[in-house]
Amino acid sequence: MSHNGENVRRVIRDLWVIGLDVPPYPQLRSFIDIYLQPLAENGLLVEKNGFYFLENPGKLRDLGGYEPFIPEAEELVKAAREGVVGFKWLRGPVTGVFTLSSRIYLEKDISRGLYATLLREPRLVEYIAEYVRRNLEYLAGLGYNVLFIDEPVLGVLVGRRRILLGYSEESIREIIERVYRGLPGMHGIHVCGRISPRLFKLLSSIKELNILNFEFHDNPMNKEFIDKELLEANDKLLAPGIASSKNPVVETLDELRKLLGEIIERAGGRVDLVSADCGFGGLAVDEGGPEKAYLIGLEKLRRIKRVVDELNAADK
């Protein structure tokens, strides 16, 4: 579905009709562009063919004068204030420090991957950390009470045996603590793709995080790393993705029940904010185009909601 004001409002209305408890503001454009395109428009970065380049590292100092503004986030709050929707909780996702840094290139040769990005310069990453914090503060000020950072690159950065680019568990922990410290509401992190047991343990140890969100449908091996003792000891909740965000086949209710039940058992009941694996931007269909893909995504969410409601009713 294309990004425009009417489609954003449509998504908000549809999420309300489905009955989601904690909806995010709609993201109908890249979760990278939402945060880096404004910096390019203001001359801090240079955008070329969809990639972002930092040609003058000194310009990062100007980030301190940039005021965040996310139209989609404003639109959801407006709908809530006007009584169009009545959500009690609003989820405010912000692309995280490490992931944004991994998409800002310091050299023209991008074939070197992460080694060509800002991520290789921890001193410069500090500026992005402050930028992410300011966006979280902005969303909290709008009324978002479940704040999330999306950090897919952490699944690559933190492996089973080593951490890339000279980072340590302590340095990663400190950056995440810093962006959240003192902010209101619940704090969560989303890491899509495969995770390592080392990453699960690291994120479980971060005091400022309340909720850990991972994929379990398309990456079933992640179930093996759920450690209920760590969740209990660190007072963490697991927010599992239980439906594919890429495969257009809508999961059966029995499939969703089985997967969610297994995750709840492994997590010792410490489960909340059940969702699909990730956003549906990568959901592709052979026929019907974006409209059909959108309706499939809605049906997946509707079925997840039904399964969660059934479990909640059974517990009463």
> Could you give the percent of the chain with pLDDT greater than 70?
100
Strands (E), the chain: 46-48, 51-53, 91-95, 104-105, 146-150, 186-191, 211-215, 237-241
In the predicted model, is pLDDT for residue 285 greater than 90? no
Mean pLDDT of the chain: 96
Predicted pLDDT at 189: 98
- Total length of the chain: 316
CATH label of the domain that carries residue 141: 3.20.20.210
pLDDT tens column, 137-167: 999 999 999 999 999 999 999 999 999 999 9
With b meaning 16 or more CB within 10 Å and e meaning fewer, what string describes 220-253? eebeebbbeebbeebebbbbbbbbbbebbebbee
For residue 316, pLDDT over 90 is answered with no
User: Could you read off the pLDDT of 43-78 as tens digits, one per residue?
Assistant: 999 999 999 999 999 999 999 888 999 999 999 999
Does the pLDDT of residue 301 top 80, yes or no?
Answer: yes
Cβ pair 103, 117 in contact under 8 A = yes
Q: How confident is the model at residue 278 (pLDDT cuts 50, 70, 90)?
A: very high
Domain hosting 197: range is 5-315
pTM assigned to the model? 0.96
The total of other beta-carbon atoms located within 10 Å of residue 36's CB is 22
Q: How many domains does the chain have?
A: 1
Average pLDDT over residues 86-114: 96
Question: Closest Cα partner for 100 from 71, 134, 72?
Answer: 134
Tokens standing for residue 184: 């209101």
**C-alpha angle 214/220/225, rounded to 5°?**
65
For residue 112, is it left (φ>0), alpha (ψ between -120 and 50) or beta? alpha
Specify the pLDDT at position 17. 97
- Cα atoms in the 13 Å half-sphere on the side-chain side of 16: 17
CB-CB neighbours of 144 under 10 Å: 24
pLDDT at 261 over 90: yes
